[in-house]
């Protein structure tokens, strides 16, 4: 068998070990200066200065939904075709998903289906940018405004993606989340960032990530606790630490190269797989650029193609199971059929598209697919 081509791979530059060693030797391991430096770097990259670095993506989404006003018994409109890290925060806030159909041409929320799902308990729309592709943000934002709802973007898989020439998190949605877990485009080992549209939400997020504490007043100049510092809203413990931030910072010198390589691989597939029998390539917006975390597509007789690719040493899989199949969401609201979800769930799979992929490897993948299954 040929050398295996992985679907995912950890990006760890040579300088990460030295940076991490410096942080470990400093004795300052918890949330601190390295986290603030990471936030500054990410703000410059995305164009949004209102960045809050956090420990992991579910925490970021929990905070975003909480700030969107989601409380026990409320509803959040979301597709079942998402990562569990996306849907679980809804349940953790004792709210309910309101399952919405997807456009099977993209795998993402169909804006035309949302209006019929809005109820007096609806608080937010949660959109998942599938495998790095960009959802129809203009239509989603218009729908959210029309119904007085907050729009939360989960861009966990979409680092480097753009819409209208700007990075995600800079388009007017109320909140946008990035993930820096192990196999994302760049990693902090584990971590996330919450980008806010308003300064007020940004300040609230900075308090919520550490128990609701106002860091500016919590301690006196002497370092002692300030008895006059109040906690008005109870918060969480979702702070990123200096260890994770140090790993994340080491990634930034290679960011542009990572994004360039993944885009090149994705565009190669767009051309090389066009018209292949049994395949349906996903539709990507003309005003957007995918982050191409993986190259996601649809295949007839998917199980047969998965088996052939795996037997030929090519990493491939379904990214996510439809979440409405899990009994933990038994009380979620689903009004009628979800034909787009049914089709997309039946046919979607992902092939390698990462920065590590060589021209020869991607040609091998295309040849294997085009030979039929």
At residue 11, φ and ψ (nearest 5 deg) are -90, 115
Question: Measured in whole angstroms, how far is the alpha carbon of residue 276 from the centre of its chain?
Answer: 29
Cβ neighbours of residue 331 closer than 8 Å, sequence gap 6 or more: 96
Q: Among residues 135, 129, 121, which one has the least CA distance to residue 157? A: 129
The pLDDT value recorded for residue 2 is 64
DSSP string, 234-250: ---B-B--HHHHHHHHH
Q: Do the Cβ atoms of 280 and 302 come closer than 8 Å?
A: no
* Tokens of residue 40, six digits: 């500054």
CA distance 229 to 79: 41
Q: What DSSP string runs through 155-172?
A: -TT-TT-EETTEETT-SS
Number of domains comprising the chain: 1
CATH code: domain of residue 146? 3.40.640.10
Mean pLDDT by 10 residues, the chain (373 residues): 87 96 97 98 98 98 99 98 98 97 98 97 99 98 98 98 95 95 97 98 98 93 94 96 98 97 98 98 97 98 98 97 95 85 98 98 98 98
User: Which pLDDT value is given to residue 184?
Assistant: 97
Structural domain boundaries enclosing 63? 1-373
Q: What are the residue ranges of helices labelled H in 163-298?
A: 199-208, 242-251, 255-272
Q: Given this model, what pLDDT does residue 172 score? A: 85
Residue 171 has a pLDDT of: 80
Other beta carbons less than 10 A from residue 342's beta carbon? 14
H helical segments located in the chain: 15-26, 33-46, 57-67, 84-92, 137-146, 199-208, 242-251, 255-272, 302-311, 339-347, 359-370
Position 333 scores a pLDDT of 72
> How far, in Å, are 85, 115, 242, 345, 364 from residue 106 at the CA level?
20, 19, 37, 12, 25
């Amino acid at each position: 068998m040929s050398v295996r081509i992985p679907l995912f791979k950890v990006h760890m530059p040579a300088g990460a070990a030295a940076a991490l060693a410096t942080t470990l030797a400093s004795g300052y391991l918890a949330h601190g200066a390295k986290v603030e430096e990471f936030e500054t770097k990410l703000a410059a990259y995305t164009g949004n200065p209102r960045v809050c670095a956090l420990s992991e993506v579910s925490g970021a989404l929990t905070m975003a939904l909480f700030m969107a006003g989601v409380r026990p018994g409320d509803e959040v409109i979301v597709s079942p075709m998402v990562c569990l890290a996306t849907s679980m925060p809804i349940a953790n806030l004792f709210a309910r998903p309101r399952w919405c159909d997807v456009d099977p041409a993209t795998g993402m929320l169909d804006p035309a289906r949302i209006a019929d799902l809005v109820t007096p308990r609806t608080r937010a729309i949660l959109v998942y940018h599938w495998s790095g592709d960009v959802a129809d943000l203009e239509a989603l934002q218009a729908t959210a405004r029309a119904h007085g709802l907050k729009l939360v973007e989960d861009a966990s898989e979409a680092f480097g993606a753009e819409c209208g020439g700007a990075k995600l998190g800079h388009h007017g949605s109320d909140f946008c989340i990035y993930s820096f877990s192990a196999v994302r485009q760049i990693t902090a080992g584990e971590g996330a960032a919450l980008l806010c549209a308003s300064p007020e939400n940004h300040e609230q997020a900075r308090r919520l990530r550490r128990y609701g504490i106002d860091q500016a007043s919590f301690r006196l100049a002497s370092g002692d606790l300030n008895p006059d510092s109040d906690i008005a809203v109870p918060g969480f413990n979702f702070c990123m630490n200096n260890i994770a931030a140090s790993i994340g910072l080491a990634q930034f010198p290679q960011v542009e190269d990572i994004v360039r390589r993944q885009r090149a691989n994705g565009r190669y597939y767009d051309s090389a797989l066009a018209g292949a029998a049994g395949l349906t390539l996903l539709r990507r917006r003309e005003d957007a650029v995918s982050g191409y975390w993986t190259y996601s597509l649809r295949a007839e007789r998917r199980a047969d193609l998965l088996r052939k690719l795996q037997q030929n040493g090519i990493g491939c899989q379904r990214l996510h199971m439809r979440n409405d199949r899990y009994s933990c969401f038994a009380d979620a609201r689903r009004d009628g059929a979800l034909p787009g979800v049914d089709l997309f769930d039946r046919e979607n799979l992902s092939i390698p598209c990462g920065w590590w992929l060589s021209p020869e490897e991607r040609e091998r993948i295309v040849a294997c697919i085009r030979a039929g299954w």
